[in-house]
Amino acid sequence: MKLIYQVSDLNILNNQFKLNLSEKRIRHMKGASDYAKSLCELHKIDNADNIINMCFFHDIARDLDYNVTKELAERSDWKILNIEFDNAVLLHSPAGAQFLLENKIFLKNNMKYLEAIRKHTLWDKKESFELSFLRLCDISEYSRDFDGVEKIREKAFEDIEKAFTLSEEFRKGFN
């Protein structure tokens, strides 16, 4: 298994599995992993490689056709909510985690990272560190550009737990 995946690896997967990932999406996924890397280094976070890969792959199923996304979700062992089946945007998180698992792309023995990918579009009262971290990187990676994103980034460099809370507040505002 590779330690850290690169855009070249993603391009290969994109072609091989017809993932339909757009350039913009790839930029976002790479942005999330680059941002994760900076935060892991600064805060000396354990298992940084897995965290960075988790952020890199989190939207792997985001541009798949709905039917393919649905089939992936149906094959997974995760409980999928009806609201997810009704909404392709929500469904890409379990579908993506299932895709990574089935294809043994990464983290075979590290379900907590896949679990975070699986849940990243849902609300969950008991969030793991990995899920909070993924959501923070998803919302405030370098290609994001909305009022307040700088504030989240500044907070993330100062105090990561506070940045988790702040990013969730912004996320609520988006829904």
CA-CA distance, 141 to 128, in Å (whole number)?
20
Question: How is residue 146 written in tokens?
Answer: 């909305």
**Cα-only R_g, the chain:** 15
**From 18-26, 51-59, 71-79, 129-137, span contacting Fe ion (CB under 5 A):** 51-59
CB of 62 to Fe ion, least distance (A): 5
Reference 94, options 106, 110, 109, 81; nearest CA is 81
CA-CA distance, 78 to 19, in Å (whole number)?
21
**From 8-16, 48-56, 72-80, 132-140, span contacting Fe ion (CB under 5 A):** 132-140
59 binds Fe ion (CB under 5 A): yes
Torsion sign across C-alpha atoms 156, 55, 69, 85: negative
138 binds Fe ion (CB under 5 A): yes
Nearer to Fe ion, 118 or 155 (CB): 118
Nearer to Fe ion, 84 or 138 (CB): 138
53-23-68 Cα angle (round to 5): 75
CA-CA distance, 37 to 21, in Å (whole number)?
22
CB of 47 to Fe ion, least distance (A): 20
CA-CA distance, 59 to 101, in Å (whole number)?
14
CB of 56 to Fe ion, least distance (A): 11
CB of 117 to Fe ion, least distance (A): 8
Nearer to Fe ion, 109 or 173 (CB): 173
Nearer to Fe ion, 59 or 130 (CB): 59
Nearer to Fe ion, 27 or 151 (CB): 27
> Where does this chain bind Fe ion (CB under 5 A)?
59, 138
